Structure 1
């Protein structure tokens, strides 16, 4: 079983204004379950986690959860919610009442758009704690300079399961400077046992038209050292990844970079970690891991 722990789906007219950037023209179209299923079949991927796509409103959750009813491959959904919203508790309760709610496994906010100390705020910390109490993970999509504040939040909230998206978005295209910057800042977050990380999104942090596997190797190797296979998971970041590489190339590149990892370690990265951390439901039986706490 192979799990893709990070991908997106969106409707072109669905409020994803960030797609208006000129360089994003190749992905400025609708991506739905049918297109996803074609990619999964070609790459031998059996289950996935669908992540909010930057629309940043509560209405998106119903759409993402509804996809799981038609596409059994989508075993989990990470929906958008604002941790600082005073109505967060009601928002989460509403999500759990939606069709497909059994697949709600996590929450994400666009922290990368906030100031560097956003995760240090008391109101944000209270919201993160509520998310953890609801049995949901919190996905961290952060800039490199936000990694220290993410580490402080993870240390202060040991009962919350944090998932670092895209290894913290290192500046791969900056070469040795980007690597040194990221390496110095990610270690503190990796030291927290309640943090896992996704080997995802690296191709679009590299030179879109000129990257190769060796550009990504030092990040993957450092992640293996800091997190170990037990706390790492594969994510395609499709369809965003297609700006730099097709789905299958992204997967095959990671397989090549993990060639020296033993079979149990690769099994964790390509499925076991995501299944455990997100408590993914069984798409064939319609049941969910008992690890997940439901809303109460």
Structure 2
């Protein structure tokens, strides 16, 4: 009898019922995102791309976001994991985490650090560090969402917290127009930390209209492969945000075109294996 195939996953996407007050980051330039995006919208896109499921990631601050995503995961088994939100600086963090003790779909947490007035200051704050330590002690993944300018501060944070997996979202949001040089210099120390993985996600929306193609993005993907290796990289569509730049199918195709002549095992890692290991996902596709 042959072994079941590993999962093929979209490791980074979002759902929401849109209310303007809940999503202040959706501005005029993102007006097309001002509507609901629910699991039934995504499932046909996953099927068409040959993906078995996804990991749903928070898009707003508030514990109600975590609970809403967990309810979706209970209703739709192809949502293999949830990355929710909790206030790491709350002195009562342990009590907040306790409410989700019996929620196996909850794999980690994230905060939109990039939107803080001083992201580096938050990452260096003792309360934030204590909270992250508590998450790691409980076996939760933490996703680091920052812009390229804060890669050095993110590296210092990840160096202090090495008891469980950490994940860098969107390759640290490089400035595509400036090229990969300075970004790679700042990314290299972070990539040298073996407990840090990285999502190949969000690049299309970071690129300008003339750079949303494999040729422009290939240098960034190749450097990510050189620095992390395929075993610490994972595909994420960033749907529905990716729709600002391309359709879901096009987002998948651009990454496929940039990966080059990788081995089958390297492709397998990026398209699901890394996420399955990092988020400790159970299940497989027969």
- Structure 1 length normalisation: TM-score? 0.90
Which portions of structure 1, spanning 4 or more consecutive aligned residues, are displaced by more than 4 angstroms? none
Matched, 1:32 2:38: yes
Q: How much has 1:210 moved relative to structure 2?
A: 5.2
Pick aligned residue for 2:178 from 175, 178, 198: 175
Cα deviation code 1:112-142 (max 9, x no counterpart):
1231232122111111110101110000101
Matched, 1:79 2:80: no
Q: Secondary structure at the match of 2:221?
A: helix
Unmatched runs of 5 consecutive residues or more in structure 1: 286-296
- In 1: Cα distance, 2:65 partner to 2:184 partner: 34
- In 1: Cα distance, 2:74 partner to 2:36 partner: 19
Q: How much has 1:86 moved relative to structure 2?
A: 1.2
Q: How much has 1:209 moved relative to structure 2?
A: 6.2
1:289 matched residue in structure 2: none
- In 2: Cα distance, 1:51 partner to 1:182 partner: 25
Cα deviation code 1:256-283 (max 9, x no counterpart):
1113111111100101100000011328
- In 1: Cα distance, 2:224 partner to 2:210 partner: 24
1:108 matched residue in structure 2: 110
- In 2: Cα distance, 1:204 partner to 1:274 partner: 22
Q: 1:19 to 1:191 in 2, by over 3 A?
A: closer
Q: Secondary structure at the match of 1:131?
A: helix
Aligned ranges 1:20-169 → 2 under 5 Å: 20-53=26-59, 55-97=60-102, 101-114=103-116, 115=118, 116-169=120-173
Q: Secondary structure at the match of 2:95?
A: helix
1:211 matched residue in structure 2: 212
Higher mean alpha-carbon deviation, 83-92 vs 196-205, is at 83-92
Q: How much has 1:180 moved relative to structure 2?
A: 2.3
2:4 matched residue in structure 1: none
In 1, are the aligned partners of 2:147 and 2:173 still within 8 Å (CA)?
A: yes
Q: Secondary structure at the match of 1:4?
A: strand
In 2, are the aligned partners of 1:61 and 1:95 still within 8 Å (CA)?
A: no
1:280 matched residue in structure 2: 281
1:192 matched residue in structure 2: 193
Q: How much has 1:15 moved relative to structure 2?
A: 4.5
- In 2: Cα distance, 1:284 partner to 1:168 partner: 31
2:257 matched residue in structure 1: 256
Q: 1:186 to 1:246 in 2, by over 3 A?
A: same
In 2, are the aligned partners of 1:202 and 1:216 still within 8 Å (CA)?
A: yes
- In 1: Cα distance, 2:133 partner to 2:215 partner: 39
- In 1: Cα distance, 2:171 partner to 2:90 partner: 26
Q: Secondary structure at the match of 1:196?
A: strand
- In 2: Cα distance, 1:86 partner to 1:13 partner: 29
Cα deviation code 1:26-57 (max 9, x no counterpart):
1110000100111111111102100001x201
Cα deviation code 1:191-211 (max 9, x no counterpart):
111100000000000014652
Q: Secondary structure at the match of 2:104?
A: helix
Q: Secondary structure at the match of 2:54?
A: strand
Matched, 1:6 2:12: yes
Q: Secondary structure at the match of 2:204?
A: coil
